[in-house]
Structure 1
Amino acid sequence: MNQDFPSRETLKRSVNAILFDMDNTLFDLVGAQVAACDCVVRHLGHDDGDELFTYFLNTSHGFESTENIRQYMQERRIPTNGMYDDACRIYATEKLRHITPYPGVTKTVREIRGMGFATGIVTDAEKADASLRLGKCGLSPFFDCVVTFDRVRIKKPAPDPFLLALNEIRARPDEVLFIGDSPRRDIEPCKKLGIRTVYARYGDRFSKTRDYSGADFVIDRMEDLLDIVKDLPAART
């Protein structure tokens, strides 16, 4: 009776596909937001950009919503007629202008693509924002799929975004490696699905200690991912 055995190439390769979180994993979105907030408050005649940014951490409006700017203005009795629209335009323009890939990201993603891996993005950002940010960073050509919030209508850590990405790259969970900066929204849901995980500690802007140890691997720079990819044990077939 014939039995299927892993090919030499399968044994050599650890994973068939690599998925990435986008914001704060490929680039510093938080840093770009803080810089944009600084520009907004200068335009409004105030000098508390860090305080404006704290409004974006308020869950009532959401991390990306410009309603945070409106609330900031209203609580300081800054007229919103006209000035709010200007503030939103400044915020959007400056945020995108300050988005650049972390050191080593472009090189790493290019090499991974050159190795023949399928690649994808799983992000809570809207499609329009993801397209602009990946385009600004010159990273758009390197990904086979981009799963955004408006495609699934539910955010991580729900499994739906990850499952859609698996379907689009036609990979089983045990054939995939996921890289993300958030233990709660990236690493933990992937582990529940059987996806191997890499904690991008350098991008975690919200953990006080960054001592999370629940991932399979931890990296402090994106280029370290290449060593992990080369050294992983073979994926099951």
Structure 2
Amino acid sequence: MERSIKAVLFDMDNTLFDFLEAKLTACKRMVEHLGGGDPEDMLGYFLRGTPGFEDLENIRDYLLDNELYSQEDYEVCCRIYETIKLEALVLYPGVKQTLEILKEQRISLALVTDAHSNNAMKRLERMQIKEYFDIIVTNDMTGAKKPDHKVFYFALDLLDICPQQALFVGDSPGRDIEPARIIGMVTAYAAYGDRRHYSDNVEADIVLSGITEVLDIVLENKKIEENVK
């Protein structure tokens, strides 16, 4: 890949850790408390799109639709959800190793997420990886969500690089890979984290079976660049 990669930009949820599994674990605990319901169905409410992916209204709607609602149970379920979705988080294998080596290679690192900064910081601190990132771009900073190109350009401007100097790593073909590719970034599809929309036909420069494969891309790029010099 004959480009000078100066920075790697990562999506967060389901790219660095399995957030869907953590949310499902939270749903299981809520169902246990309620003594009824189905955790997969409850998770489906969070995946509807409206209200948002982390909106507590999803819990209220599920309880009402399944005739399980009481104000007390709703409040308890909200507390369970907020606690367990963090406690159940697990980094994908090789995440810290990958971030450490990229930093050693003096590659700038950015996190670009649709999460609110409050939620993003809680997850990053829980996983103990916040310090690896030079910049963290969240929904409340940009006023937009992916696939809006504004989000990507916001991060690139902070890094002071052009799209052709950046590699974007994400699990969503539509929200991560396509917009990053359109504006000229190198793209790496985190297929290992895409449990909802996985496809063999994603138009990405690289398809990743694990996050450590990012190192192969960047280190090979640096080797080519050094040989040219």
> What interval of TM-score do these two structures reach, taking the shorter chain for normalisation?
over 0.9
One-letter amino acid matched to 2:204 = A
Give distance in 1, aligned partners of 2:92 and 2:156. 26
Give distance in 1, aligned partners of 2:142 and 2:28. 33
Counterpart pick for 1:27 among 13, 17, 33: 17
Q: TM-score scaled to structure 2, two decimals?
A: 0.93
One-letter amino acid matched to 1:18 = V
Runs of 4+ aligned residues of structure 1 deviating over 6 Å after TM superposition are: none
Farther off after superposition, 120-129 or 74-83: 74-83
5 Å-filtered alignment, 1:119-130, equals 119-130=109-120
Give distance in 2, aligned partners of 1:18 and 1:222. 12
**Per-residue displacement from partner, 1:142-197 (whole Å, max 9, x unpaired)?**
00111101111211000111111001111111111110001100011011111110
* 2:135/2:158 contact within 8 Å kept: yes
**Corresponding residue SS for 2:71:** coil
* 1:13/1:230 contact within 8 Å kept: no
Give distance in 2, aligned partners of 1:226 and 1:14. 14
Distance apart, 1:16 and its partner CA:
0.7
Query: Partner residue of 1:5?
Result: none
Matched, 1:206 2:196: yes
Query: Partner residue of 1:133?
Result: 123
Query: Partner residue of 2:205?
Result: 216
Give distance in 2, aligned partners of 1:140 and 1:63. 22
Counterpart pick for 2:157 among 160, 167, 170: 167
Give distance in 1, aligned partners of 2:69 and 2:164. 54
Give distance in 2, aligned partners of 1:74 and 1:47. 12
**Per-residue displacement from partner, 1:119-151 (whole Å, max 9, x unpaired)?**
101100000111011111110010011110111
Taking every aligned residue pair, what percent have the same amino acid on both sides?
41
One-letter amino acid matched to 2:217 = I
* 1:152/1:161 contact within 8 Å kept: yes
**Corresponding residue SS for 2:54:** coil
Give the unaligned 5+ runs of structure 2.
Answer: none
Give distance in 2, aligned partners of 1:94 and 1:187. 30
Give distance in 2, aligned partners of 1:88 and 1:212. 38
Give distance in 1, aligned partners of 2:144 and 2:41. 29
**Corresponding residue SS for 1:23:** coil
Counterpart pick for 1:97 among 84, 87, 92: 87
Change (3 A) 1:111 1:13: farther
* 1:120/1:143 contact within 8 Å kept: yes
Number of residue equivalences:
223
* 2:156/2:162 contact within 8 Å kept: yes
CA RMSD of aligned residues (A): 1.6
Larger Rg, first or second structure (1 or 2): 1
Give distance in 2, aligned partners of 1:124 and 1:81. 29
Give distance in 2, aligned partners of 1:153 and 1:44. 36
Counterpart pick for 1:190 among 180, 187, 191: 180
**Corresponding residue SS for 1:19:** strand
Farther off after superposition, 131-140 or 43-52: 43-52
Distance apart, 1:103 and its partner CA:
0.4
Distance apart, 1:14 and its partner CA:
3.1
Give distance in 1, aligned partners of 2:177 and 2:51. 25
